[in-house]
Structure 1
Amino acid sequence: MRRAWSILTAAALATAGFLAAGPPAAAADADLVRNGGFEAGLTGWSCSAGSGAVVTTPVHGGTSALKATPAGQDNGRCSQAVTVKPDSTYTLTAWVQGAYVYLGATGTGTTDVSTWAQTPGAWKQLTTSFRTGAATTSVTVYTNGWYGQPAHLTDDVSLVGPDPGGSVQLPAAPTGLTAATPTSTSVPLSWQPGAGATGYRVYRGDTLVASVTGTSTTVTGLTPATTYGFQVSATNAAGESPRSAVVTATTGPTDPGGPGDGGGQLPPHALVGYLHSSFANGSGYLRMADVPASWDVINLAFGEPTSVTSGDIRFQLCPVSECPGVETPAEFKAAIKAKQAAGKKVLISIGGQNGQVQLATTAARDTFVSSVSKIIDEYGLNGLDIDFEGHSLSLATGDTDFRAPTTPVIVNLISAVKTLKAKYGAGFVLTMAPETFFVQLGYQYYGSGPWGGQDPRAGAYLPVIHALRDDLTLIHVQDYNSGSIMGLDNQYHSMGGADFHIAMTDMLLTGFPVAGNTSRVFPPLRPEQVAIGLPATTNAGNGHTAPAEVNKALDCLTKKQNCGTYQTHGTWPALRGLMTWSINWDRFGGWEFSRNFDGYFGG
């Protein structure tokens, strides 16, 4: 909160190839495309912006075909890297259905090629040929549609030419896939190894959800009381095996006392706000007793550290000299109890713009736990809001996989929160308010190393969210004080309009490959865990969104209505609600934000 980030972003466009002709393949040549008939789903293929899916009708051959749907500035391209011999001639063919369907190859080392179907209707065969360069050992074959066109179909793709051979063969498919006892949001899986495998990919339906080297994993982020189908494939340097047989598992029911719903007492659609309890600014001081009933979760801003690295967190009411009319501690505690009696949750929020916290040591971690516990106990609070910003994660630069963090500031924060959760039990409410820089920007940049000048902390909240997803009540990313961010449509979206909130929220509810790496897919969060964070007024932060645009975003996400240029990957009527910075600023603005929320959800 109260911090502005300037994020520089850039995008590049790829160039198209040219058609070339060549002689037909010899009879002894091999077909080098893996899973060209899509009988093994999308195994071996990578589709841009999640545009590809396998269908069972219509098909050209076998029982499956590829259906890819262009959206926005994405042309629905699906591609595969194929090992080839240098200085050799290859013929690429595919059967397609739809107008403006392209077939081509890049990285040939000579002249890249493409051809296309110009009319819709029945299946048509596309054919093109090329010769590899003297040092070319791999080419990429692809099929795509065109911008603004309907979905297109592709089937029976082949690349016929000299077999490059090699000693590494595709691994055998894993066997014996079993599911252990599920929780309400996770399923443990294990399987027997596939001969020749060096790694494994786990699929939920056609969605890749994990890449591991061992023969077990736990799939998390699932919806309670829901049946899922899982498969696993084996990988090595030669590629990916067919998938195993499907195993199904049904998650358990929602624990009515569990943290996923704040102890079972949050309303279906909740309004979250921050109350300036420890400081004053231009919005003016507001007593706890005077917070309107619209607010379901009230975050006390802020608990702040005695030093950046100590882990020692303190909270005190704003002094009278700064906040005339401030209540006494006894009055404040009594007002909290009254709110809780009315079904509201009151949390201590740690951090904010000025509250930099770095838990770089286990001693700092333990001090954090004890000092936060003291605040919760003294004021009788329901839980904790993590609002780490800026330099709180400045040391989080060594992780390259959000699923296995190693940097101390991340590992110790996760451990501290889990300790607090274990201490207070199922009713403990845990919320987070990261900035888009630390979450959605992970779609483009993540981990340490040179990212074209980007701050290597981009996406640094992802391991925290992932590790705590089963304990997390709400996440409300700050959709403000941000630069433009790329959505799953590979387009940049700017603050202040419905599309920005739709795109940012869709990423959380759909999941996304981290830094473009499809082996590191951040799994989706449950819709009841997600609220949209906005500034209450133009004074409260950059990116204020007019009520009409807020309602458009809610319409699109919960009803698939009033969507703009961004098309969501689902519809989520259980989306929890809205968060705002802040309750004080909303009062300053005549309660416009909360009145609009109440009007939309009938509160």
Structure 2
Amino acid sequence: MDRTRSLAGTSRPSRLLAALTAAVLAAGALVASAQTARAADTELARNGGFEAGLDGWSCTAGSGAVVTSPVHGGAKALRATPAGSDNAQCSQTVAVRPGSTYTLSAWVQGSYVYLGATGTGTTDATAWTQSAPSWQQLRTTFTTGAATTSVTLHTHGWYGTGAYHADDVSLLGPDGGPVQPPAAPTGLTAGSATSSSIGLSWAAVPGATGYTVYQGGARALSVSGTSATVTGLTASTAYTFQVTATNTAGESAKSAAVTASTTSGGGTPGGGLPAHALVGYLHASFANGSGYLRMADVPDSWDVIDLAFGEPTSLTSGDIRFRPCPVSECPGVEPAADFKAAIRAKQAAGKKVLISIGGQNGQVQLTTAAARDTFVASVSKIIDEYGLDGLDIDFEGHSLALNTGDTDFRNPTTPVVVNLIAALKTLKARYGPGFVLTMAPETFFVQLGYQYYGSGPWGGQDPRCGAYLPVIHALRDDLTLLHVQDYNSGPIMGLDNQYHSMGGADFHVAMTDMLLTGFPVAGDSARTFPALRPDQVAIGLPASTNAGNGHTAPAEVTKALDCLTKQANCGSYQPHGSRPGLRGLMTWSVNWDRFNGGEFSRNFDAYPWS
């Protein structure tokens, strides 16, 4: 009791001394705490100076090698060389602690060199340099997610830019323990099959840097993504597949097996289309300077006829209506009964007639589940009323403008994208395997994703750049044809890292080769957009100079087909192999081709595919 009174009566200087003492003690505790935190940071990158060769590192396509000059520190450094469709990515997986902050750095030389970490559970980290003629340090930080126990570090270059060098790669942060082999993949599913190939896909495995596909227990191929196509198979034969996940610690157990069969050799994969098809849009709901053309008068050259257009009653309603061109606008238009009879006659002759949704004025945004369901119901009504074979998606303008939050094309979250995917899958399931599903996006929405999808290494250009990529990827097993509009666009960069301009063979070869080869997606540099099958791809062109910017002369169209299907008659762009199974050509439009004397269709009919 007296002690308490004595403290209470302490003079003012004594109180100040006590306060200062307490502050010093607190500061000491903070210093000690900071020292403890710094002491907890550990160097987690294995062989970051490459003094032990490539130990701990895995480089795609054998692209990496250890050199003794130039080096930043020590006696060795990494030299990795992009080639073809490979960006020379070298990676390793390290164990980390959940909810912890890490600093990743490396010294690099070269043009367009990237450093990053994926699988963080939060926002993947990326640093890059456009040009580093001498050693330059790249540095970035990230925080792991609540359940993240491993991340994958990587460096990579870019296409057509030559070799890059990296040295002294460092990851500092709390030690997560030794890297463990990944878990076995789940969700292995067989997708599209032809007489000689079967497509497979599976769920991503945390901590995996690659996957190995097994066919009948034997290794078939290795890939970095979560899909693969096994080729060289025999027609009308059942095959069993499994897949494993790999990282620097080893290989997982095999997944559950899936069995799938190839189609018969005599079939025509792709919705019953001929091996090489000509696709054209028919101005069925409007007239312009090309004039109206009755369905019965569409020439036999056209294998797929897209009725242009079904349009929405409002931007976000999802309600689609098709209104045949009225007599007041289209003198000579046939009665509805004759129009439907002509459709049936075309189908009897082996042609496919689709309703095309969208066009320049038909912007559609399925922002809600209700709009999604209305879209399915209204499109189904059109298909049923006219007895059509399927659906073409020709969304342009702002239809996918709300795709601003997605940076992973494999896992979209934006409502307009998610709802569109769900609606198209529902329609495909409703009408069965014979349902023809095609898409006609502009290059802006597809190939420009190579540079600008998501945030992009340039800081982004437009939220719609590459906005079709999630839709195409999610529906690749259901998609009959993708015919990107290779017109009405500016120069686009190809896989050779060069810009190509409309109107020449090189442009069409470069744009089509991206679809048939696959390409890395900007803003998502660790993931590659997988290649489509050649039978799923047609080249989109305007039929005449009246039909759109980027008209390509018949001789240039022939050169493009020669280069893509035979790897002959190529210009400056060399494709990644020959694709004799390329499906064909699409044009805007049947009407403009007739207006131009049938030049486009005649050139297609005369082309020697073999």
TM-score past 0.5 threshold: yes
Superposed CA offset, 1:331-389 (max 9, x none)? 11111111000000000000000011111111111111111111111111000000000
Preserved CA contact (<8 Å) 1:36 1:158:
no
TM superposition shift of 1:518: 3.5
Superposed CA offset, 1:271-306 (max 9, x none)? 000000100111111111111111000000001111
Q: How does 1:88-167 map to 2 (within 5 A)?
A: 167=175
SS at match of 1:261: coil
1:187 aligns with 2:200: yes
Give the counterpart of 1:252 among 258, 261, 275: 261
Preserved CA contact (<8 Å) 2:64 2:88:
no
TM superposition shift of 1:142: 9.2
Cα gap change, 1:81 to 1:404, in 2 (>3 Å): closer
Give the distance between the partners of 2:356 and 2:159, measured in 1 at CA.
48
Q: How does 1:100-499 map to 2 (within 5 A)?
A: 167-168=175-176, 171-174=179-182, 182-183=190-191, 184=193, 185-187=198-200, 198=207, 201-202=210-211, 205=221, 207-210=223-226, 219=227, 225=233, 232-234=245-247, 240-242=248-250, 252-254=261-263, 261-262=270-271, 265-447=272-454, 452=459, 454-499=461-506
Superposed CA offset, 1:537-562 (max 9, x none)? 01100111111111111111111111
Q: Which residue in 1 is equivalent to 2:592?
A: 585
Q: Which residue in 1 is equivalent to 2:577?
A: 570
Preserved CA contact (<8 Å) 1:259 1:428:
no
TM superposition shift of 1:252: 2.8
TM superposition shift of 1:39: 8.7
Cα gap change, 1:142 to 1:81, in 2 (>3 Å): farther
Preserved CA contact (<8 Å) 1:224 1:254:
no
TM superposition shift of 1:309: 1.1
Superposed CA offset, 1:479-522 (max 9, x none)? 00011111111111111111111111111111111116332211
Q: TM-score, normalised by structure 2?
A: 0.70
SS at match of 2:356: strand
**Count, aligned residues:** 500
Give the distance between the partners of 2:585 and 2:481, measured in 1 at CA.
10
SS at match of 2:261: coil
TM superposition shift of 1:458: 0.7
Cα gap change, 1:342 to 1:313, in 2 (>3 Å): same
1:45 aligns with 2:39: no
Question: More relative contact order in 1 or in 2 (CA 8 Å, sep 6+)?
Answer: 1
Give the distance between the partners of 2:345 and 2:159, measured in 1 at CA.
60
Whichever residue aligns with residue 171 of structure 1, its letter is V
TM superposition shift of 1:432: 0.4
The unaligned stretches of length 5 or more in structure 2 are 1-45, 66-77, 95-105, 116-126, 142-152, 214-220
Q: TM-score, normalised by structure 1?
A: 0.71
Cα gap change, 1:549 to 1:174, in 2 (>3 Å): same
Preserved CA contact (<8 Å) 2:82 2:160:
no
Superposed CA offset, 1:376-434 (max 9, x none)? 11111000000000111122212121111111111111111111111111110000000
Give the distance between the partners of 2:114 and 2:441, measured in 1 at CA.
42
Cα gap change, 1:168 to 1:518, in 2 (>3 Å): same
Preserved CA contact (<8 Å) 2:392 2:439:
yes
TM superposition shift of 1:462: 0.8
Seq. identity, %: 62
Give the distance between the partners of 1:323 and 1:190, measured in 2 at CA.
52
Cα gap change, 1:448 to 1:329, in 2 (>3 Å): farther
SS at match of 1:440: coil
Cα gap change, 1:67 to 1:310, in 2 (>3 Å): closer
Q: Which residue in 2 is equivalent to 1:547?
A: 554
Pick which of 459-468 and 224-233 moved more: 224-233
Give the distance between the partners of 1:597 and 1:522, measured in 2 at CA.
30
SS at match of 1:501: helix
Superposed CA offset, 1:466-487 (max 9, x none)? 1111111001000000111111
RMSD between aligned residues: 4.7
Cα gap change, 1:568 to 1:330, in 2 (>3 Å): same
Give the distance between the partners of 2:137 and 2:496, measured in 1 at CA.
33
TM superposition shift of 1:570: 2.2
Give the distance between the partners of 2:268 and 2:559, measured in 1 at CA.
30
Q: Which residue in 2 is equivalent to 1:25?
A: none
Preserved CA contact (<8 Å) 1:358 1:393:
yes
Q: Which residue in 1 is equivalent to 2:147?
A: none
Preserved CA contact (<8 Å) 1:478 1:532:
yes
Give the distance between the partners of 1:319 and 1:190, measured in 2 at CA.
50
Question: Whose helix proportion is higher, 1 or 2?
Answer: 2
Preserved CA contact (<8 Å) 2:456 2:522:
no
Give the distance between the partners of 1:363 and 1:267, measured in 2 at CA.
37
Preserved CA contact (<8 Å) 1:276 1:584:
yes
Preserved CA contact (<8 Å) 2:453 2:466:
yes
Q: Which residue in 2 is equivalent to 1:19?
A: none
Whichever residue aligns with residue 353 of structure 2, its letter is V
SS at match of 1:202: strand
Preserved CA contact (<8 Å) 2:49 2:169:
no
Cα gap change, 1:294 to 1:475, in 2 (>3 Å): same
